[in-house]
Amino acid sequence: MGFWHRIRGHVTSWAFLVPFLAFALFPFYWAIITSFKADANLYDLRRNPFWFAKTDAVTHQPYHKDIIVPASYPAAPIHWEIKQGDHTTRSDSEANPKPIARIGDQVVYSPVDGTLSQIEVPEGSTARPVDVIGTIEVENPTVTHYKFLASTPFYRWMQVSLLTGLAVVILTVLIAVPAAYALARLKFHGNRVIGIAIFLTYLIPPTILFIPFSQFVGALHVDNTIWSLILSYPTFTIPFCTWLLMGFFRSVPKEIEERALLDGATRMQMLRLVVIPVVLPGILTAAIFAFTLSFQEYVYGLTFISSTANRTLPVGISVEMVRGDVYFWGPLMASAVLGSLPVVIVYGLSLDYFISGMTTGAVK
């Protein structure tokens, strides 16, 4: 068989799958490239939006931004704090921004990340309100949108989401593992009915429950706190994970349990030393799903939490990063890219567990 003959199958499979892959991944490519584009490039419609451009399509000059003296400043002699050719950083993405110039006792900050390319009003001359004192060549690609996130509660939301996810994973595993074992292995009256009832609760979605639930968390005095999320998220993680784990427990051969019991182990010892180690991959899968499902949750987070500081990441990004009708696409895409990272990392590390969980969760 020739080389072509051997690889033909591989090549055609790839060729046919490319459109599916492109459809699935394009929004991510788009978010990533947007998050690294300077605004000047982002809103330059004449440029090919699929890649970065360095120069303005009309003037063929590098993208630049004029430094304008605010109208409220008095006319005064200028003192430059940086030299021509120096790098500048946009002031709102820094905790303690460094001024680029002083006019009398007022300070001027950089409007954009880049390089001071031109000085219009030299050191010591008088700068008047709304004068252009210099030009900054815009840095592109740039990490300015990512740095800007530090000035928003983004990392606080990330903390809330991660903490909630972790707490939900612990709670879910503690409740779902014993329940799944009992339902899969132990004989008692109502076993089957309880199993089906738990499956049914998995099918009752948050969108049916969120209105009474909002009153319920209010009555428990946990509304607007992370506890409202930790208490409510297991309503979907416990049923799903119990169902998932039942499948794993059923796949453990009965004989190894019986042998342990015959060897004189108590049931609890047998569980701890024999069964749990065997179903550990299943427990890991359940934990991964509990984390991913709580990280993805939106309705409860939107309904129960009203203060900016306690929002979860998906709610924070969608509610707080948009001002009225104005979308700041750069920072918004940067927050989307960074916000996806925790689940992407978990997913990347546990690809096979995740996909087996998807199928068993739905099928078994």
* Footprint (CB under 8 A) of other proteins, residues 45-84: 45, 49-50
Whether the CB-CB separation of 284 and 276 falls below 8 Å is answered with no
235 binds other proteins (CB under 8 A): yes
What residues between 305 and 324 interact with other proteins by CB under 8 A? 313-315, 317-318, 321
Longest dimension (CA), the chain: 95
By CB under 8 A, tell whether 27 contacts other proteins: yes
Q: Of the two residues 68 and 182, which places its CB atom closer to other proteins in the complex?
A: 182
Q: Is 203 in the site for other proteins (CB under 8 A)?
A: yes
Q: Which of 213, 240, 249, 291 binds other proteins (CB under 8 A)?
A: 213
Q: Minimum distance between the CB of residue 161 and other proteins, rounded to whole angstroms?
A: 9
The beta-strand segments (E) located in 31-131 are 64-68, 76-80, 87-88, 101-103, 106-108, 114-119, 126-127
User: Whole-number minimum distance, CB 14 to other proteins, in Å?
Assistant: 7
Q: Does residue 191 interact with other proteins by CB under 8 A? A: yes
Which region, judged by CB under 8 A, interacts with other proteins, from 75-83, 114-122, 275-283, 342-350? 342-350
Q: Give, as ranges, the residues between 265 and 284 that touch other proteins (CB under 8 A).
A: 267
Q: Which two tokens stand for residue 169?
A: 């994973």
Q: What is the 3-state secondary structure (H, E, C) of 257-285?
A: HHHHHHCCCCHHHHHHHHHHHHHHHHHHH
Judged by CB under 8 A, the residue of 58, 95, 262, 363 near other proteins is 363
Please report the DSSP string for 198-252 in residue order.
HHHHHHS-HHHHHHHHHHHHHHTT-TTSHHHHHHHTHHHHHHHHHHHHHHHHHTS
**Residue in 82, 153, 163, 216 binding other proteins, rule: CB under 8 A:** 216
Which range in 97-105, 106-114, 135-143, 352-360 contacts other proteins by CB under 8 A?
Answer: 352-360
Q: Is 193 among the residues that bind other proteins (CB under 8 A)?
A: no
CB 286 within 8 A of CB 357: yes
